[in-house]
Amino acid sequence: MDIEEHRSGGQRVIAVDWGTSQLRAYRLDEAGAVIEARERPEGILAVPPGGFPAALDAIVAGWESAAGRVVMSGMVGSRQGWLEIPYVECPADTASIARGVRPVEWRKGATALICPGLVCRGSDGVPDVMRGEEVQVMGALTLEAGTGFGSILMAGTHSKHVRVESGAITGFETHMTGEVFAVLKAHSILGRMIEDGPPDDYAFARGVARSGEGSGLLHHLFGVRTRVLVGEMQARSVSDYLSGLLIGHTLRAAAPAPPVLVMGAPLVAERYRRACRQLGIDARTLASERATIAGLVAIDRLLTTKAA
Amino acid sequence: MDIEEHRSGGQRVIAVDWGTSQLRAYRLDEAGAVIEARERPEGILAVPPGGFPAALDAIVAGWESAAGRVVMSGMVGSRQGWLEIPYVECPADTASIARGVRPVEWRKGATALICPGLVCRGSDGVPDVMRGEEVQVMGALTLEAGTGFGSILMAGTHSKHVRVESGAITGFETHMTGEVFAVLKAHSILGRMIEDGPPDDYAFARGVARSGEGSGLLHHLFGVRTRVLVGEMQARSVSDYLSGLLIGHTLRAAAPAPPVLVMGAPLVAERYRRACRQLGIDARTLASERATIAGLVAIDRLLTTKAA
């Protein structure tokens, strides 16, 4: 890549996390600390064709004087984003990811940088992919250097279970945990029997426990219905029970190496952490926003250093 | 129950299969053969409160002279149906089911009969239920007497896997196979990448094979997406692959005892039969409508005989 214009080592960087539904920008100081953060619901699906330069302009408005470099990660590098950036193969470390970074024309005479996603193949040969989480993992490696962890779990719509060895992602697998939960709640017979209620940790724990019994997820899902039908479970406990069931199935199948570092929206990350603990897997949470910023800074520094 | 008015042994019976979405009635001769069949999209969810007598009147219109007895099975006996008939506990044979039959007031001075559903508890203590399928199983036992089978599989929205020993249902488990397929197709990220195409038996078989690999269903679901994303699978193959994946997971978890008798809508039953064959499980199909009628006749005869 041509990184000529990103060479100025002393300049400040703007870190951008551009996902499917949200656009987040962080103005950072020379040390990588956040001076100002902005967020808009302008995920890539909300950007009109050709509208990416203008959307970036808008979210960094007023930051111009400080903006020497803009480094972005997430779905902005997907087919539906600004420019499709080829996936980098696993195993991958910060250097491999930095080598996959590509520039896009942003303003006249100025480019912005987009990080690549990762692709890996499981032992079964089926590919798996991520876009954005790889930067968070690199950030976690920076933030948690020396504390030691066996794997990283990114909670969310599509939960990611990442194996890390010697500073590199050696493999990962994605589970449709959160999306299946949302779709079943909104559109299945189970959703129709759910009533709102206060958080029910006991129901969640029962769901996690149930995931270890025989007969598989599709049978366990029907059991949610029968438990309510025969009066063994309250309708207001269904949502937490279902969540525990799906997270339990995910964890038993993914079998993350402990200790597990759990990232994601705080409430969901805490659910995974609790389920890990119930299954005897040592786990702690890490704020994913901090990890994203640290990862983008680490990648930017590597680009700057190499070019200098 | 008071079956006084159902005592006339020589009389013809009307068999009614009243499910969630369909109402089917069969006018039978003394030998139990169908003289006339009628079907309406008046499943129990389409019947207004208090409207069951009129709906039954309408579908048997003109059959009055022949109608000595009306025997019904299915969701008509559920909480949302005409009258909630208590579940009968497993193990259950035709006699136990017949003992659970209850009358409802239909016309002045005339009642109709509703068969009970079954409830069983798995080794894990979680209850499972069926309404209507138990009558089909009893019919299958009549129709297939002497041919020998190890278990019965009812394909459909909620697939039922029934263990049968010495003419009795000893246990069963329900899997949300068909509903999860429909919900994912209609509402998930997988559905959005599906294109219509001709039946793709190879994609179906690949889905069945995939279900035996590690990492669980929630990971396999995400793999559908990545396979398309990296160009390994055509968008028009996704639906059949997903179907194979879900049926494969169901069969591996339910582990039906062979030979398996598969019932259900012909196209879906045939899918389960093919998946069984791929997994080395001997299986054949049986028309479920025939089984329903034979089951209702067998129960009716038992009631008549006992009362005579």
The answer to whether B232 contacts chain A (CB < 8 Å) is: yes
C-beta atoms of B210 and A186 within 8 A: no
C-beta atoms of A253 and B214 within 8 A: yes
* Model ipTM value: 0.90
C-beta atoms of B230 and A127 within 8 A: yes
Three-state secondary structure of chain B = CCCHHHCCCCCCEEEEEECCCCEEEEEECCCCCEEEEEEECCCHHHCCCCCHHHHHHHHCCCCHHHCCEEEEECHHHCCCCCCCCCCEECCECHHHHHHCCEEEEEECCEEEEECCCEEEECCCCCEEEECCHHHHHHHHHHHCCCCCCCEEEECCCCEEEEEEECCEEEEEEEECHHHHHHHHHHHCHHHHCCCCCCCCHHHHHHHHHHCCCCCHHHHHHHHHHHHHHCCCCCHHHHHHHHHHHHHHHHHHHHCCCCCEEEECCHHHHHHHHHHHHHCCCCEEECCHHHHHHHHHHHHHHHHHHHHC
Q: Residues B3-25: what's their mean pLDDT?
A: 75
Quick check: B41 pLDDT over 60?
A: yes
Contact predicate B161/B256, CB 8 Å: yes
C-beta atoms of B176 and A128 within 8 A: no
The answer to whether B131 contacts chain A (CB < 8 Å) is: no
Cβ neighbours of A130 in B, within 8 Å: none
Q: Chain B window 34-73: which residues touch A at a Cβ cutoff of 8 Å?
A: none
Which pLDDT tens digits describe chain A residue by residue (308 residues)? 444 444 444 568 999 999 999 999 999 998 899 999 999 999 999 999 999 999 999 999 988 654 568 999 999 999 999 999 999 999 999 999 999 999 999 988 789 999 999 999 887 788 999 999 999 999 999 998 878 889 999 999 999 999 999 899 999 999 999 999 999 999 999 999 999 999 999 999 999 999 999 889 999 999 999 999 889 999 999 999 999 999 999 999 999 999 999 999 999 999 999 999 999 999 999 999 999 999 999 999 999 876 54
Identify the pLDDT of residue A123.
74
The answer to whether B247 contacts chain A (CB < 8 Å) is: no
Q: Name the phi and psi angles at A78, rounded to 5.
A: -95, 175
Structure token digits, residue B24: 């089917």
One-letter amino acid of B162: V
Interface with chain B: mutation pick from A89, A131, A215, highest number of B CBs within 10 Å:
A215
Q: How many CB pairs under 8 A join A and B?
A: 147
Distance from CA of B138 to the nearest CA of A (A): 23
Distance from CA of A60 to the nearest CA of B (A): 31
Identify the pLDDT of residue A64.
67
Name which of A1, A16, A11 is nearest A296 in CA terms.
A16
Contact predicate A164/A170, CB 8 Å: yes
Cβ neighbours of B251 in A, within 8 Å: none
Q: Tens digits of per-residue pLDDT, B90-125?
A: 999 999 999 999 999 998 878 999 999 999 988 778
Quote the CA–CA distance of A87 and B236 in Å, as a whole number: 24
Cβ neighbours of A232 in B, within 8 Å: 127
Residue in chain A lying closest to B191 (CA): A183
Identify the pLDDT of residue B115.
98
The answer to whether B299 contacts chain A (CB < 8 Å) is: no
Quote the CA–CA distance of B181 and B193 in Å, as a whole number: 14
The answer to whether B223 contacts chain A (CB < 8 Å) is: yes
**Identity of the residue in A187, A216, A230 whose CB atom sits nearest the CB atom of B187:** A187
C-beta atoms of A123 and B214 within 8 A: yes
* Model-wide pTM > 0.95: no
The answer to whether A145 contacts chain B (CB < 8 Å) is: no
